[in-house]
Homo-oligomer: A and B are copies of this chain.
C-alpha cells in the first residue's frame, strides 16, 4: 500500500487546511502581485523531485518561501483585473470531496452519482437562471460542466458542424463553413475555429453598433456568404464581452441565424450568472432561441476553476458529434448520459461537487447578494469616476465592470493603471476601445468589499 493511511491523512489534511486558512486570512496584507521577474521563481526553488520521501511541512515551507511570493493572488480582495476567478472556500472544500471520492465520470456506469448529480444540478440551475426548460434534461436538452468557456465554444462549434453536414464525422470540414462573431467576441472562438480545422478565413467579423453585434450587418453577411456558396454554421453572440461587458442583441441575432439554419451559441461566460437576480434576467432575453448557452461558475459564481456551465437544447447534439462509439453500440432511448460524449477529453472529475457545495452553502439568496454587492460597488465607483474632472467613462458600466480613461490621453490612462498596480493594493487590467487605451475595473472577488473599492479609488485619484 503506497498511500497515506487515513489517520496520517487526517493529521496532514488538517495542517493543509490550516495553511490555506492562513494564506487566505493573510491575503489582504500582501501585494496583489509580487514584483517577480521571469525565471526568479524557478531559480529560487530547490530540487522538486527527491530520491526519497520528504515530509509535507517542507513542501509547505517551499510554498511560503517561493511560491506565494511568486504568485498573482487571484483571491485577493484587491484583485479587479481581467474577470474574477472566484475560488470561494466552500468550493475548495467541495473540490476536496471530489478528490477524496476520486471518481472518473466518463461514463454513467463508471460512476453513476457523478453523472446524475451533475445532471440534476444543471437542471436546477437552469431554472434558477430562468433558462428555457428546453435546456434541461427533462425538456430534451441538458447541461454539462466543461473545463472552460473555450472548450464550451469548441464543442458547440463541433455540434454545429455536425448538424450542418452529417458527413462531417467521415469527411471533415470542406472550407465553406463560416462562423460569425464581432470584434469583441472572446478570442476562444477564433481558437475553436482554428482547432476545428476551419482556418481563420472561416471567421466572419460582423460589424457592431459600435460594440454589440448588428443584426442587420449579420443578416447581410450571412446572405452574402450563402449566395456565394459558403455555409453559415455558427453564430456566437456574447452577453458581457471581455473588453467592456457589451451585450449583443441575442434575440435579433438568433432570429437572423435561424433563418440560415446556423447554430447559435451564447457566450455569457462572465455575465450570465447575474441572471440569478431577477433584475438582471433581461440579459438573457432571446437565449430561448439559442442552441447552446454558456456561463462560468468559476468566474463570478464562487466556484473554483474549472466549472464552465454549458447547456444545449438538444441532448443528442454533442454525443452525435463527439461520440466515438459506433452508432449501433450507442445507448439509445436516452436512458443514461455518458458525459464522455459531451466533451473532448475522455476522463472527467466529479466537478459538480464543488458547485453543489457553493449553492448549498450560500443558497440562491447568498449568490444573489454576492452579485448585487459587486454591482452596487461598481455603480458607486462609476459615479465617482463620472464626477471626477480628469476621468471619463468609456462605455456605460456593465454590471460590475467599469471602463474608464484619463482625459489626458493614453499615456495618462496607462499611468493610472501602473500606479494602481504598483501600489499592490489592487490589480487592474486594460483593454483598447476605439483605438484608445482603457482601464478596466472588474469588481467581483470573493472577499472584495466597499473598503477595497474605496482604497482603489484613492489610488486612482492620486
Residue ranges of A at the interface with B (Cβ–Cβ < 8 Å): 1-7, 9-10, 12-14, 16-25, 34, 36, 38-42, 45, 47-56, 58-59, 63, 66-68, 70-75, 77, 82, 85-93, 95-97, 99-104, 108-114, 116-117, 119-121, 124-125, 127-128, 147-151, 154, 158, 161, 167-175, 187-188, 190-191, 194-202, 298, 302, 304-306, 322, 324, 335-336, 344-349, 356-357, 359-366, 369-370, 373, 446-449
Contacts and interface: CB of A to CB of B under 8 A. Distances in A.
A2 B59 contact: no
A224 B388 CA distance: 72
Contacts of A56: 90, 93, 357, 360-361
Closest 4 CB pairs of A and B: A197-B197, A172-B199, A87-B102, A20-B100
Nearest to A276: B49
A332 to B, nearest CB: 13
A19 B175 contact: no
A109 B16 CA distance: 26
- Interface of A: prevailing SS: helix
A59 B13 contact: no
A263 B49 CA distance: 30
A74 B148 contact: no
A210 to B, nearest CB: 22
Given A42-B119, A102-B305, 19 more contacts: A1-B446, A1-B447, A13-B96, A16-B97, A17-B96, A42-B120, A50-B363, A53-B365, A54-B361, A56-B90, A56-B360, A67-B101, A71-B101, A82-B104, A85-B102, A99-B304, A150-B346, A187-B346, A305-B348
A172 B201 contact: yes
A105 B4 CA distance: 29
Contacts of A151: 344-345
B18 A72 contact: no
Nearest to A43: B116
A247 B260 CA distance: 49
A360 B449 contact: no
Nearest to A429: B110
Contacts of A447: 1-3
